[in-house]
């Protein structure tokens, strides 16, 4: 019965006043599967591609990663919000994800850096959220059938009689959602990089290059810690929006170019692909990260395909094919460079030990290379931060 299936909110309320009178919420998938829970964020209707992230920590970094634009993010770790939220762990000026799906939000938080609860953070940033659902069941469903679109409705659910109306509202949102394939989602999040102020880490004496080196970052949704890692190596960093032409970039006289991470399908990012193509022609030292990895692949004529469920987590093993070393990496992507159609000019440098997908490549006899994962971690390990060091070495040897 609906009354049994729908959660009794009075049984969910803990001692915190923040949760008194909490509204119910419903998650509806494109295939009709429905989950009932409680609203933990902004009251609204939100739609996006439903994905799952297996990281156990770093929920604030995940929530503020621009790569999750137009996605409803499921966190598989059951207890979320224990340490609250703060200003330091922001990867962008604001969150860009469509919604958050979790098993259990912490009704209190305890950390010396915590400034507000996760629920307050979600509400303040107008992010729809739902908890009290079986995230394990949802994850298994997505893993078996592939990522699909979903909608969270929390705007008017007060009792069981609102259920059918909520389902209709969710279906209407799903029918109007165009998805992320074939859409230039990156242009929606470009320009939200955190400002380069004095609080950012400066370069250490150990890593100081022989002379100041300038690098331009094409912002497709760049994370703060990518820029921090570049500055830590002594680079002078200039971030430009995704629609910047190669002519504009060249006027900045860069010693190197970084094409950043970002959300969605790389193929509609025509300007970034053209920038990468011209950088390749000039052999300007260029590093592509995540979406940037795919952008460079397209500029080289390689194919791109959408993955069944994508890689979203902080425990992905990757092999360096040159020396056999294994690295645990942070990953966040739903598209991948296709193994088919590789040409002899491209050397595969890294491979996923989960599914064998391409995790890194370089253009032979050039200063062009790319990595699919997140060498900066945040959240997750920085085992493969050598990607940044390799880029520094490439830039130094080309000037």
- For residue range 117-152, what is the model confidence (pLDDT) as tens digits? 999 999 999 999 999 999 999 999 999 999 999 999
> Which CATH number covers residue 76?
3.50.30.20
Same domain, 316 and 230: yes
Same domain, 131 and 197: no
Instruction: Examine the fold and report which residue of 176, 209, 241 is the final residue of a domain before the chain moves on.
Output: 176
- The yes-or-no answer on residue 267 being catalytic is no
- Residue 89: partners with Cβ closer than 8 Å, 6 or more residues away: 58, 60, 61, 64, 113
Instruction: Examine the fold and report which residue of 158, 176, 194 is the final residue of a domain before the chain moves on.
Output: 176
- Contact between 287 and 295 (Cβ < 8 Å): no
The neighbour count for residue 315, using CB atoms within 10 Å, is 14
Question: Is the pLDDT at 200 greater than 70, yes or no?
Answer: no
Same domain, 359 and 235: yes
For 8-37, write each residue's pLDDT tens digit.
Answer: 433 333 334 444 566 889 999 999 999 999
* Domain assignment of residue 225, yes or no: yes
pLDDT at 165: 87
- The yes-or-no answer on residue 4 being catalytic is no
Q: Which of 91, 290, 293, 316 is catalytic?
A: 290
> Which CATH number covers residue 215?
3.40.50.880
* Domain assignment of residue 181, yes or no: no
* Domain assignment of residue 218, yes or no: yes
Same domain, 172 and 194: no
Same domain, 172 and 196: no
Question: Is the pLDDT at 7 greater than 50, yes or no?
Answer: no
Instruction: Tell me the mean pLDDT in the region 331-340.
Output: 97
- The yes-or-no answer on residue 376 being catalytic is yes
* Domain assignment of residue 245, yes or no: yes
Question: Which residue segment(s) compose the domain that 315 sits in?
Answer: 186-396
Low-confidence winner among 17-21, 41-45, 299-303, 313-317 (lowest mean pLDDT)? 17-21
Per the structure, the count of domains in the chain is 2
% of the chain beyond a pLDDT of 90: 84
Same domain, 118 and 198: no
Same domain, 167 and 193: no
Q: Which of 141, 169, 376, 378 is catalytic?
A: 376
Question: Is the pLDDT at 46 greater than 50, yes or no?
Answer: yes
Same domain, 156 and 200: no
% of the chain beyond a pLDDT of 70: 89
pLDDT band of residue 161 (cuts 50, 70, 90) is low
Question: Is the pLDDT at 199 greater than 50, yes or no?
Answer: no
DSSP 8-state assignment for residue 354: T
Long-range contacts of 16-20 (CB under 8 A, 24+ apart): 16/107, 16/108, 18/107, 18/117, 18/119, 18/120, 19/107, 19/119
- Contact between 66 and 262 (Cβ < 8 Å): yes
């Amino acid at each position: 019965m609906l009354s049994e299936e729908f959660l009794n909110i009075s049984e969910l309320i803990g001692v915190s006043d923040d949760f008194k009178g909490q509204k119910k919420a419903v998650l509806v998938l494109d295939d009709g599967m429905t989950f009932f829970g409680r609203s933990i964020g902004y009251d609204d209707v939100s739609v996006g591609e439903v994905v799952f992230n297996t990281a156990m920590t770093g929920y604030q970094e995940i929530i503020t990663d621009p790569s999750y634009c137009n996605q409803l993010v499921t966190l598989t770790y059951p207890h979320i919000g224990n340490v609250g939220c703060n200003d330091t762990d922001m990867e962008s000026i604001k969150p860009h994800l469509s919604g958050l799906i979790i098993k259990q939000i912490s009704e209190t938080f305890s950390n010396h850096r915590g400034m507000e609860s996760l629920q307050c953070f979600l509400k303040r940033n107008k992010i729809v959220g739902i908890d009290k659902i079986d995230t394990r069941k949802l994850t298994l469903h997505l893993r078996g059938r592939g990522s699909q679109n979903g909608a969270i409705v929390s705007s008017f659910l007060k009792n069981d009689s609102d259920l059918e109306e909520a389902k209709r509202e969710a279906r209407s949102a799903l029918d109007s959602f165009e998805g992320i394939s074939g859409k230039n989602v990156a242009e929606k999040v470009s320009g939200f990089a955190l400002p380069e102020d004095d609080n950012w880490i400066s370069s250490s004496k150990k890593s100081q290059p022989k002379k100041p080196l300038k690098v331009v970052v094409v912002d497709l949704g760049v994370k703060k810690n990518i820029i921090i890692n570049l500055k830590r190596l002594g680079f002078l960093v200039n971030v430009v929006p995704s629609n910047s032409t190669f002519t504009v970039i060249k006027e900045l006289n860069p010693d190197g170019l970084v094409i950043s991470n970002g959300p969605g399908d790389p193929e509609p990012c025509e300007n970034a692909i053209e920038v990468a193509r011209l950088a390749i022609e000039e052999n300007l030292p260029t590093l592509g990260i995540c979406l940037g990895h795919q952008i460079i692949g397209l500029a080289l004529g390689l194919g791109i395909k959408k993955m069944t469920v994508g890689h979203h987590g902080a425990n992905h093993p990757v092999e360096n094919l040159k020396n056999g070393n294994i690295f645990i990496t942070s990953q966040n992507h739903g598209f991948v460079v296709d193994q088919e159609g590789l040409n002899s000019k491209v050397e595969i440098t890294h491979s996923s030990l989960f599914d064998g997908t391409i995790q890194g490549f370089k253009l032979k006899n050039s200063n062009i290379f790319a990595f699919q994962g997140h060498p900066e971690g945040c959240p997750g390990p920085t085992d493969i931060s050598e990607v940044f060091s390799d880029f520094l070495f490439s830039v130094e040897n080309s000037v």
